[in-house]
Amino acid sequence: MARWEPDSRSRLEQAAFALYAERGFDHTTVAEIAKRAGLTERTFFRHFADKREVLFAGSGALQDLLASTVVDAPEGLAPIDAVAAAIEAAGAQLEERRERARQRQAVIAANAELRERELIKLASLASALAEALRRRGVSDPAASLTAEAGIAIFRIAVERWVDETNERSLPELIRESLEQLRAVTAGH
Residues of this chain that interact with a second copy (CB under 8 A) are: 78-81, 116, 119-120, 123, 141-142, 144-146, 148-149, 152-153, 155-156, 159-160, 177-178, 180-188
Q: Supply the minimum distance, in Å, between the C-beta of residue 36 and a second copy.
A: 31
* Residue 25 or 161 with smaller CB distance to a second copy: 161
Least Å distance, CB 175 to a second copy, is: 13
CA distance 160 to 117: 20
Count of positions (residues) in the chain? 188
* Closer residue to a second copy (CB): 97 or 115: 115
Q: Whose Cβ is closer to a second copy: residue 32's or residue 81's?
A: 81
Within 10 angstroms of residue 175's Cβ, the number of other Cβ atoms is 17
Nearer to a second copy, 13 or 118 (CB): 118
CB of 80 to a second copy, least distance (A): 5
Q: How many H helices and E strands in the chain? A: 10, 0
| Residue 91 and residue 170 in contact, taking contact as beta carbons nearer than 8 Å | yes
Closest CB to a second copy among 49 and 78? 78
Minimum distance, C-beta of residue 75 to a second copy, in the bound complex (Å): 15
CB of 79 to a second copy, least distance (A): 6
Distance, in Å, from the CA atom of 124 to the CA atom of 118, rounded to the nearest integer, reads 10
Q: Are 53 and 13 in contact (CB under 8 A)?
A: no
CA nearest 67: which of 132, 117, 113, 111?
Answer: 132
Amino acid occupying residue 168: R
Whether 79 and 143 have beta carbons less than 8 Å apart is answered as yes
